[in-house]
Amino acid sequence: MFTPVSMVRIELLVLDRDLEALSAQVGEMGVLHPVEATGLGDWSAPLAWPEIDGLAGEYSSTERRFDRIAESLRLEIGDAEPSQVSPSEAVGRARGLLDQVEPEIRQLESRLHDLQGQQARWLGLESLLARLDGLMVDLARLRELNHLAFAFGLLPRENLRRLEESLQGIPHLLSAARREGDRLLLFAFARREDWEVVDRALQSAYLERLEIPAEFSGTPAQARVHLQERKADLEDAVQATELHRQRLREQWGDRLSSMGSEVKTNGRVVRLWQQVGRTNRTRVLAGWLPRERLGRFADRVEDVTEGRAVLTTQTPTPEDDSAAGKAPTQLRNPRLLRPFEVLTRTYGIPNYWDLDPTPLAGLLFVLFFGAMFGDLGEGLVLALVGVLLATGRLLAGQRDFGRILAACGVSSMLFGVLYGEIFGSEEIIFPLWFRPLEDPLQLIGIAVALGVLVLSIGLVLGVVSAWRREDRVELFFGQNGLAGLWLYWGLVATVLLLLLAPSLLTWWALVLLILMPALLIFLHGPIAGALGWPVEAEGGAYLIQSGVETFDLVIRLVSNTVSFLRIGAFALGHIGLGLTVFALAGLVRGVPGVDLVVIILGNVLIIALEGLIVGIQALRLEYYELFTKFFRGQGRAYAPFILGPWVASGHAEGED
């Protein structure tokens, strides 16, 4: 907790004949986060293994073929056992099986696709015949007119008069069969020699043409009988095709599932091998694993290679920020705090040298939410909804969110008891602390004091984080180091002296409290250079930039503190909304039951809308006022190579 799991980088040299067995064992253990062996340093560049990319391409295409067949036959393809690792052989066997099955599968899919297309077409024709239902017209004769041209379709009603006016002087017949909403089913007839003019008029009137297919003959009623017969034949054909699919699944399903699993597992191994280095007879596997797992890992490697392996280890250092030297981050929070990791991960993955803000973030988020949304009744509703989500009884897959919501609901209930508020009313229970509306200045003072405490904690954590990174410049003279902490406490002390003992606020006090730490921050470059510490820039441009940044720091520290006033403001706003709901209910109290409906709906609206807004504000206070003091969020998540089903949790193996 507070710091990631301690990692160690390993470099494993094995004989090429042991690589398959070792890969299976590494995948079964599931603790190694692999890195590119060719990225270990200049010496490792010649270890490139370009030939493996060809095998990886073969596995990629083969896996896609299995995915298509699995979708066609509705098969489940899981993960094979690590004992089935044989990348050089599995892909050949898999392709042989696919070459046998795929032609029949393609034929099946083509047949089914054709039948489904026909079904869709006949469904559209059924809709067309429904429009013509009741007309005693021979559809075949309409298609065989000798001297007349014919069209029909849907015409906007308001365009009928304009169409008739445009056809004046031209022999024609317009017949509206029925009305469909704002449109008319219109039949249009004219002589063939006049049809070009009539056709342009129909287009200008926005006629949506409908066509009579060649399959239709007789009256619409007779055509519908033929259509139903054809649809029944199609349904029989589709059922026969589905039975064929089922027979194929029974014939090939087990072999395809087994081989697909083997290909899936070996594909993972080959993708691991793309990060392996190679010489003529040896292979180099590199990666990160938790330090506490190193002994067990070394023993398993010794067993599987029968001593034919060389394992070297390297402890991570803050200076090594290369691709291979940057240690991954594995969080280690107790089960109760793990749901709150989403608050941290949304901001970014902690760098290995960062402190994990999850415990503090979880505690403060719940505290901020409850302080701004203090209500015993509404908090109880939130807690109950959170419990339903956390237990999977409502919206499956939202368990972590449910646990966070339940915690926020409990916090709201506690502050509701302290404020004496339940469902927006201040007349039912007595406050254990004070009523915010009766003493808003006290609430504002508490909010500011909380802000000072939170910012101080953030700056202290910034000092600890700089010490962990061995960044001496940031530790002693940085904005979020000791000088920044000195400056902030100096500003706080200055305000307190101004309010409580202005006579003690002398020029010497201002120099000690504000000017000295500000100068240390402003001149941190020259001071670090004089001490022989690495510094990024010097000169006039540096001094201008540093001066602007120091001034900005003072403004930000003040604004960060003032930002916590939102806790008091939203707490007062929440109570005000509750009073408004009861005031509206009082206006309709003469109508039985209506006032209760207003109270219920008002509380539901407050819970939904204000609960969301308060949650966003609590996040804002954490991200902008707290996290920026010590959390960089530029890490990469620990992702071990695993053969078999696994859900990334980001926690240490075996940790409860």
Report the distance separating Cα 638 and Cα 185, nearest Å: 66
- For residue 261, being part of any structural domain is answered with yes
Same domain, 600 and 494: yes
Is residue 352 within 8 A of residue 326, CB to CB? The reply is yes
Report the distance separating Cα 63 and Cα 47, nearest Å: 28
Give the containing element (helix H, strand E) for 588.
none
Task: Give Rg (Cα) of the chain.
Answer: 37
Same domain, 472 and 498: yes
Same domain, 213 and 237: no
Same domain, 437 and 468: yes
What's the burial of 421, exposed, middle or buried (CB within 10 Å: 0-12/13-18/19+)?
A: buried
Secondary structure of 47-70 in HEC code, one letter for each residue: HCCCHHHHHHHHHHHHHHHHHHHH
Separation in Å, CA 153 to CA 17, 73, 148, 183, 204: 75, 42, 17, 10, 14
Count CA atoms within 13 Å of residue 313 on its CB side.
Answer: 14
Same domain, 29 and 58: no
- For residue 644, being part of any structural domain is answered with no
Same domain, 246 and 213: no
pLDDT at position 653, please? 42
- For residue 655, being part of any structural domain is answered with no
Same domain, 461 and 378: yes
CA angle (474, 478, 481) in 5-degree steps: 80
- For residue 306, being part of any structural domain is answered with yes
Return the CATH number at 73. Answer: 1.20.1460.20
Same domain, 83 and 178: no
- For residue 386, being part of any structural domain is answered with yes
Number of domains in the chain: 4
Same domain, 85 and 13: no
User: Average pLDDT over the chain, rounded to whole?
Assistant: 88
Q: Which of 232, 252, 273 is the C-terminal boundary of a domain?
A: 273
**What is the number of residues in the chain?**
656
Return the CATH number at 166. Answer: 3.30.70.2750
Count CA atoms within 13 Å of residue 627 on its CB side.
Answer: 27
Q: Which of 218, 235, 253 is the C-terminal boundary of a domain?
A: 218
Same domain, 33 and 65: no
How many distinct helices (H) and strands (E) make up the chain? Answer: 22, 9
Residues of the chain scoring pLDDT < 50: 646-656
Report the distance separating Cα 127 and Cα 154, nearest Å: 13
Same domain, 43 and 54: no
Nearest 10 degrees: Cα torsion 337, 341, 343, 347 = 150
Here the tokens at position 110 are: 């083509």
- For residue 648, being part of any structural domain is answered with no
Same domain, 33 and 170: no
**Three-state DSSP state, 157:** helix
Query: If you search the block for the tokens 């008029």, which residue do you land on?
Result: 201
Q: Residue 408: left if φ>0, alpha if ψ -120 to 50, beta else—which one?
A: alpha
Amino acid at 539: G
Structural domain that includes position 545:
338-629
Cα–chain center distance at 230: 48
Per-residue pLDDT of 541-599, as tens digits, reads 777 888 888 999 999 999 999 999 999 999 999 999 998 998 898 888 777 788 889 99
> b/e for 37-49, b at 16 or more Cβ within 10 A?
bbbbeeebeebeb
pLDDT at position 537, please? 58
What's the burial of 225, exposed, middle or buried (CB within 10 Å: 0-12/13-18/19+)?
A: exposed
